[in-house]
Structure 1
Amino acid sequence: MKAMVYRGPYKIRVEEKPMPKIEHPNDAIVRVTTAAICGSDLHLYHGLMPDTRVGTTFGHEFIGVVEEVGPSVQNLTRGDRVMVPFNVYCGSCYFCARGLYSNCHNVNPNATAVGGIYGYSHTTGGYDGGQAEFVRVPFADVGPAIIPDWMDSEDAVLLTDAVATGYFGAQLGDIVEGDTVVVLGAGPVGLYAAKSAWLMGAGRVLVVDHLEYRLEKARTFAHAETFNFAEYDDIVVEMKKTTDFLGADVVIDAVGAEADGNFLQQVTGTKLKLQGGSPIALNWAIDAVRKGGTVSVVGAYGPIFSAVKFGDALNKGLTLRMNQTPVKRQWPRLFDHIRNGYLKPNDIVTHRIPLEEIAEGYHMFSAKLDNCIKTLVIPTPS
């Protein structure tokens, strides 16, 4: 089969790889019909995520058609059209039993922290991802869901991570009616977080970024007030000014390790692997939220040191909430919002490319070319 293959930072290509096989009775093999490039894939592409091994196939956002099932799979049959959450999880451990699918204890040798994630380095289990023609899906009776007949395929693929993560970011904020919510980052997750904040009763939603085309999308898609941090000496001071010098009730960090840090942070993060990217966005969140407020973190960080202003968070009495998204837990409510017309996920899709052009797709997304916000990848059948 054809698959995207990692060859080192900024080096990816499409190669022939062996077809995935049933390795366990509860596996399924899925023929990928649509995948996506996620902002957190850039952390791998840029070399910010430890133990990203040469030969790995990325891609944790994908949908497809069931090609084959193991002998113990009961809920899926060949030909089913399925959406697969980015979490690999067993469904029965202590954490899965409590809905913490992203913290499953049985799918990752490094399970002291995160569970399994498709195509996201060996720190998350070493599973190959869906930027390929076929993918092995473990625990096929637990993770995948059959796509409803009424749901558009592009909406379905976006629900496998970006939409669910944005919604989860707003959910972690414990937004109450009338709250002022600041979202840092106007990429796909930030856009969905801003949109979701309204669904949860926010009275005011502000989005911060430095790319005008993304801020325009935040205005038209999420109906948010927007601030270009490049236009201000100190964006935190501006956030304080616009909230009567109190700070926002909730700040959502939808940026993570890809924040523009200083030279030292770039060297220690990408070259020496001493920290999980730049902590700029997270520190802005801590500074911009009001005393007693909530900071929600759904931007991805490496599993190593970052210089975070924890003392300030302590002294301000903040609530910090974060996790990788337990995707399937968000789907019932999101299905309702989409079916009722409150949310149309594929409104933010800007590019659709064949799998063979994925290297160009990564470059375009990484370099912020051609007003790229979200790229879908379409494998061409061999």
Structure 2
Amino acid sequence: MKAVTFQGPHTLSVDQVPDPSIQQPTDAIVRMTSTAICGSDLHLYDILGMWINKGDILGHEPMGIVEEVGPDVTQIKPGDRVVVPFNISCGHCWMCSRGFMAQCETTQVTGQGKGAALFGYTNLYGAVPGAQAEYLRVPQAHFGPIKVPSDHPDERFLFLSDIIPTAWQSVKYADIEQGSTCAVLGLGPVGQFAVRIARHLGAEQVIAVDSVPERLELARKYGAETIDDTMVDDVAATIFEMTHGRGVDGIIDAVGMEAHGSPIQAAMLGAAGKLPDPIARKISESIGMDRMAAMRTAFRAVRRAGTISLIGVYGGQADPFPMLDLFDRGVTIRMGQAHVKRWIDDIMPVVIDDADPLGTEDLTTHQLPLDEAPHGYEIFKHKKDGCIKVVLKP
């Protein structure tokens, strides 16, 4: 089969690799009909490359048709149309039974001290072959795959694999409810859905921050007030002005480790990426390697006793936090990988609504054949050609 493979920093290729097969009784094989490029995939390009092997298959936003199932898989069958969550969870361990599927004890990568295994996402998370391919082996298929109807385009359901549950969790973690004020930093795909979900769940005011005109325009379409961060001197101060000097009730950092405006961290990341992998891994385990501009804005823009939701991926082990200010202001911080299956029952009625209130079908700006995946990564990373979301069609 064809698959998108990592070949080194900023280098991907589409190669012929062996077809996957059933290895465990709880496995399934799914033929991909759509598989998206995620913002966190871009981190593999130049930040987390020291944790991935040449030839590894990328991708963790898949959906398709079930081809084969193991003997212990009864909830799906060949021919079913399914979406596959990006994190691999068993559904019955102590963590899963409490709704913490991203910490599944059955698939935890204990050798790296990490949570549940992820598709296509480095040795840190199990080195499980990813979904940017023609076929995907799905472990724990007795629980993970989500059956979806066949009467809508893939894009109506594809984003249940990651970015809609991630955005939903980010809004819930920010304690957004009817009448709340909310800010979303970063208007990539997760940020866009966070804006829409916050409005859907009753936020009275949603302030969306980015610098890309197409992203700002799309957020305004769904009721956000926008800030172009290249046009103001101080985003946090601007948010305070827009909320009558109080700050927002909840704020979502949907940017993560690649935030602009952190030149020292950016230089450290660039230098680490050029070192041999063992040295780069050691450095990443012991320094504050993240660009923290967005996080610092979140710290300053939230109101006293407000809530910060960190949903953008961070990877540093010694990032500096302004603990005196956070403690004095009584700020709550929540973060972590999305517990995808935890939220599906809440999200599915919204997604199957014929009115499509979350706009699942208007987020994708580029559909490309699998062979053009390297180009898709390039335009997504550099925000070229109005790119907001790339979906690959194997």
Q: What's the TM-score, normalizing by structure 1? A: 0.95
Give 1:49 deviation, angstroms: 5.8
Counterpart AA for 2:388: I
Match of 1:176? 177
Match of 1:367? 382
**1:255-276 deviation digits (Å, cap 9, x = unpaired):** 1112114332013234333345
Counterpart AA for 1:321: R
* Farther off after superposition, 113-122 or 279-288: 113-122
Match of 1:81? 81
CA contact (8 A) 1:163 1:192 kept: yes
Q: How does 1:283-322 map to 2 (within 5 A)?
A: 283-302=296-315, 304-322=317-335
**1:122-144 deviation digits (Å, cap 9, x = unpaired):** 11111111000111100111100
Q: How does 1:231-270 map to 2 (within 5 A)?
A: 231-270=231-270
Q: How does 1:81-230 map to 2 (within 5 A)?
A: 81-110=81-110, 112-220=113-221, 222-230=222-230
Residue 258 of structure 1 aligns to a residue whose secondary structure is coil
* Corresponding residue to 1:348 among 339, 349, 363: 363
Whole-angstrom distance in 2 between the partners of 1:154 and 1:251: 27
C-alpha spacing 1:49/1:236, structure 2 compared with 1 (3 Å): farther
Counterpart AA for 2:358: L
CA contact (8 A) 2:363 2:388 kept: yes
* Corresponding residue to 2:295 among 271, 276, 282: 282
Whole-angstrom distance in 2 between the partners of 1:163 and 1:7: 29
Give 1:152 deviation, angstroms: 3.1
**1:87-129 deviation digits (Å, cap 9, x = unpaired):** 1012121101101101112213237442111111111111111
CA contact (8 A) 2:9 2:49 kept: no
Give 1:43 deviation, angstroms: 0.8
Residue 307 of structure 1 aligns to a residue whose secondary structure is coil
Match of 2:64? 64
C-alpha spacing 1:206/1:48, structure 2 compared with 1 (3 Å): same
* Corresponding residue to 1:330 among 320, 334, 343: 343
C-alpha spacing 1:139/1:276, structure 2 compared with 1 (3 Å): farther
CA contact (8 A) 2:181 2:204 kept: yes
Q: Between Structure 1 and Structure 2, how many residues are aligned?
A: 378
> Please, what is the CA RMSD of the aligned residues?
1.5
Whole-angstrom distance in 1 between the partners of 2:131 and 2:250: 34
Match of 1:51? 51
Whole-angstrom distance in 2 between the partners of 1:241 and 1:275: 31
Counterpart AA for 2:160: L
Counterpart AA for 2:84: V
Whole-angstrom distance in 2 between the partners of 1:332 and 1:182: 26
Q: How does 1:5-24 map to 2 (within 5 A)?
A: 5-24=5-24
Q: Percent identity?
A: 39
Whole-angstrom distance in 2 between the partners of 1:265 and 1:47: 11
Counterpart AA for 1:319: T
Counterpart AA for 2:74: Q
Give 1:345 deviation, angstroms: 0.8
Match of 2:275? none
Counterpart AA for 2:313: A
Residue 190 of structure 2 aligns to a residue whose secondary structure is helix
CA contact (8 A) 1:31 1:64 kept: yes
Structure 1: gaps spanning 5 or more residues: none
Residue 169 of structure 1 aligns to a residue whose secondary structure is helix
Give 1:38 deviation, angstroms: 0.7
**1:294-318 deviation digits (Å, cap 9, x = unpaired):** 0011111116332333332222100
Counterpart AA for 2:295: L
Whole-angstrom distance in 2 between the partners of 1:178 and 1:156: 29
Q: What's the TM-score, normalizing by structure 2? A: 0.92
Counterpart AA for 1:58: L
**1:51-80 deviation digits (Å, cap 9, x = unpaired):** 122211111101011122112221222222
Whole-angstrom distance in 1 between the partners of 2:243 and 2:28: 51
Whole-angstrom distance in 1 between the partners of 2:361 and 2:126: 29
Residue 94 of structure 2 aligns to a residue whose secondary structure is coil
Counterpart AA for 1:125: G
Whole-angstrom distance in 1 between the partners of 2:94 and 2:351: 31
